[in-house]
Amino acid sequence: MGLFEKERDLNRPPDRIHLEVDGSFFRLKANELHLRLDQFLLAHLTWRSRTSIQALVRDGFVQVDHATPEHPKGAGSPQTETRPGRKLRHGSQVTVIIPEELRLPEPEGDVSPVDVLHLEAGVMVVDKPPHVPVHPSGRHTLDTMIQRVHAHCAREMADELGLAPRLSHRLDRETSGVLLVGTRTQAHRELRRQFEAHEVQKTYLALVSGEVPAENGSIRWPIGPDHHSAVRLKMTVTEDGLSCRTDWRVVQRLAGYTLVECDLHTGRQHQIRVHLAAMGHPIVGDKLYGPDEQLFIRAADDTLTEADRAQLQMDRQALHHHRLVFKSPKANHPVTVESPLAHDIQEFIDQLPNA
């Protein structure tokens, strides 16, 4: 269950949290749930103490739209509730107003523009630069791709849209290239269905270390969590992992490097990076799957040395989402969108002699 409204404008910091009372969350049947308001909030706002939650309620920052037999999801008219012990039933809607002093500050400065590669009813495809996260998280809360998309749509498409656009897939922060956006609810759902059904064709360009001997190949090693790594999100090739497939072919041979094109038939976490590294040819600049995962840890702590940077050779992983083929939700025909190789990868290649 998300804490924030899905359709909210991500260019504005949230001012409220919305929660629905659900018996399954507490492993109870719907008719068995009779829970105090402060207990319910404590289960969801785990970073707050019960005393602070009770104070939040008494101070008028909580609204409840109670479920009734006539209105099992509430009547649509929430009322301020100041009694921490008020009982809740399954289906009730609870809204917590974030006090002004606890809200994130408004973003300062202009949001960067987006480079639109394709636009049609319900769909927009943009070119993602490297180093830009797709969503706000951690230390990266401003000028993300979704914020740039929201700002663009607010300026260019305000008369056409009645909702906040949503990304149909994700790219790592350092990865550049094609990013698909659903600008209407039905289109977004159809695009998500295509991704989940593996009907979307995804092609990446990767610059790898070493000269790959073969011209092409297919990697089908299963991938799962790397339990021996100090980095929780790291994946590895493992017999008990999830099945996956990466087809690749050589695009350009360079002295000490190879530019390869990779087609993803599955979409496992870090799939291309794991497969190429396991093949003995890690992606240039990959801090996690390159020469030493300590580079990733030091990068996260902002403690990379000049020697580290020289070892990485690029300040980001040289991975670019080059081509995406999907079916138009409205016209029902295939659409192919391409993004040229990112400038920083191309500049690195240009200074290398051919093999």
Q: Which residues are catalytic?
A: 172
Range 104-107, long-range pairs (CB < 8 A, 24+ positions): 104/13, 104/14, 104/141, 105/13, 106/12, 106/13, 107/11, 107/13, 107/142, 107/143, 107/147
Tell me the C-alpha distance between 286 and 268, whole Å.
17
Tell me the C-alpha distance between 285 and 317, whole Å.
4
Tell me the C-alpha distance between 27 and 301, whole Å.
39
Range 149-156, long-range pairs (CB < 8 A, 24+ positions): 149/114, 149/124, 149/181, 150/9, 150/10, 150/11, 151/11, 151/111, 152/113, 152/114, 152/116, 153/124, 153/183, 154/9, 154/11
Structure tokens at 106: 């408004």
The H or E element spanning position 306 is helix 306-312
Tell me the C-alpha distance between 29 and 21, whole Å.
12
CB neighbours of residue 218 within 10 Å: 12
- The residues with which 97 forms a beta bridge, in sequence order, are 16
Rg (C-alpha) for the chain, rounded Å, is: 24
